[in-house]
Amino acid sequence: MARRLVVEADGGSRGNPGPAGYGALVRDAETGRVLAERAASVGRATNNVAEYGGLVAGLQAALDLDPTASVEVRMDSKLVVEQMSGRWKVKHPDMQKLALQAQQIARQLGQVRYTWVPRAQNGAADALANRAMDGRPVHRDAAAEPVVLEDDVQPAPEPAPVVTTVTHLLRHGQTEHTPERRFSGRNDLPLSRTGRAEAEAAAHRMAGLGIDVVVASPLRRTRETAETVAAVLGLPVEFDEDLVELDFGDLEGLSADEARKEHPLAVRRFMTDVRVAAPGGESVADVSARVARARQRILTRYAGRTVLVVSHVTPIKLMLAAGLGAGDDVVHRVFLEAASLCTVAWSSDGRTSVRLVNDTAHLR
C-alpha cells in the first residue's frame, strides 16, 4: 500500500499586493507527525500568488520524501483548491505559471487530491507563512533533526538583533524629454545641461548622508547621474537591470496629449489599470515584479548599510509603495521631480518607514 501524506499549505500578503510569503508542511497521514516544513518570502505579491507558492513548496517537499506517496493537499484557499481540482479556470498569468509547476510536481507523485479546510484548521501552515513574511524562512525536515535528550536541552537562543537598511532613492537628472513631460522609458538619452547640474547638486547632498553603496539602473541618464554622485563619494557604482524604467513601447517619446491622440483606448487602460501594459511595452505590475527582485537583492547583500539607489520615476514610486505597504496604483498618485530624493528604511523584523518623498532642497 502506498504511503499516505498530508500537505498543509498557505500564503499571505501584507498589502495584497505587498510583502508576501508562504508556509507549507507535510504530515504522515497515519500518525500526524510533521515530516517537513517550508516557509519563504516571495517578495511583493498577492495572497493568491503566495498561496500557490505554498502549494508548490508543499508538493515538492512531499515528492522529496516519497515519490510513490498518495497525497492529500489541505488548504483554506477555495480558489486554489477549485482551480487545482480542475473545476475553475486559472486566469491570472502569475498563477498560471505556479499552477503548471504544481501540476508537474503532482504528476510525479501517486494520487493527489485537494481538500478545502476552514482557516482555523490550517493554523500550522498559516503560522509558517507569517514567519516568512516576518523575514524568518524555514526549511526543516524531520529526518535531519537531531534527537535531543531532555537533560541536553539548552536555553533558547537570543532573538537575532533587528537590522535596519536605509535606501536613499535618487531620480536621475533632466534629459531633453523631462521639461516636455514626454514618456521616457528605455531610451539612451544623456543628461541635459540642466540635468548635469542637478546631478552635481545631488552629489553634494549625498556626501552628507553616510552612503556605503551606490546601485543604479544602467540606462544612460541614470548611469551619468550615479557616476557623478559616486565620484564625489569615492564609491564604485553597481548596476542592476531590474531598476530600469518602465518600457513605454509605442508611447516612447510622446507627450501625454500625443499619446492619447494616437492610442486613445490603450492609453486610457494603461493609465488606469496597473496590470495593463503600454502598447508594445510593459505594465506597472511587470515593473513592480522586477523592482521587488532588485529590492530583495539590495536588502540581502547590504543589510544594515546605507544604500543610494539611482533610478527612474516608476521604480522609485514602486519602492515607496512597498515601503508604505500600499498597492502598485500608488504610482498614479505620487509626483517626483527630476533629481529628487526619497528615503525608505527597511528593518529585518518586517517594519518599514518612508522618511522622505520628492525632496529637492539641494536643487535650490
Half-sphere exposure of 180 (CA within 13 A, CB side): 13
* pLDDT (0 to 100) of residue 1: 66
Residues assigned a catalytic role: 172, 245
Residue 94 grid cell: 502569475
Query: pLDDT tens digits for 177-209?
Result: 999 999 999 999 999 999 999 999 999 999 989
Question: Which fold, 4-142?
Answer: Nucleotidyltransferase; domain 5 (3.30.420)
Q: How confident is the model at residue 149 (pLDDT cuts 50, 70, 90)?
A: very low
- Alpha-carbon distance 110 to 112, whole Å? 6
Which pLDDT belongs to residue 141? Answer: 86
**How high is the pLDDT of residue 301?**
92
Q: What is the CB neighbour count within 10 angstroms for residue 52?
A: 32
CB within 8 A of 42, min separation 6: which ones? 11, 20, 21, 22, 49, 50, 53, 132
> What digits encode the pLDDT tens for the residues 61-84?
999 999 999 999 999 999 999 999
pLDDT in tens, 324-339: 988 899 999 999 999 9
With the C-alpha atoms ordered 323, 325, 330, 334, is the resulting torsion angle positive or negative? negative
Q: Which residues contact 245 (CB under 8 A, 6 or more apart)?
A: 184, 185, 186, 217, 219, 287, 311, 312, 313, 314, 315
CA distances from 291 to 14, 77, 174, 341 (A): 17, 28, 22, 18
Q: How many CB atoms lie within 10 A of CB 221?
A: 28
Where in the chain are the domains? 4-142, 164-363
DSSP-derived letter for residue 155 is: P
Q: Report how far residue 185's alpha carbon sits from residue 270's, in angstroms, rounded to the nearest whole number.
A: 15
Nearest CA among 124, 127, 108, 16 for reference residue 62: 108
Cα dist from 101 to 169, 179, 248, whole Å = 36, 47, 31
Cα four-point dihedral sign 309, 214, 343, 48 = positive
In the structure grid, which three cell numbers stand for residue 247, read together?
518600457
Say if residue 125 is exposed, middle or buried (CB neighbours under 10 Å; 0-12, 13-18, 19+): buried
Percent with pLDDT over 70 in the chain = 95
Supply the pLDDT for residue 116: 95
Looking at domain 164-363, its CATH superfamily turns out to be: Phosphoglycerate mutase-like (3.40.50.1240)
CATH topology match: 4-142 vs 164-363: no
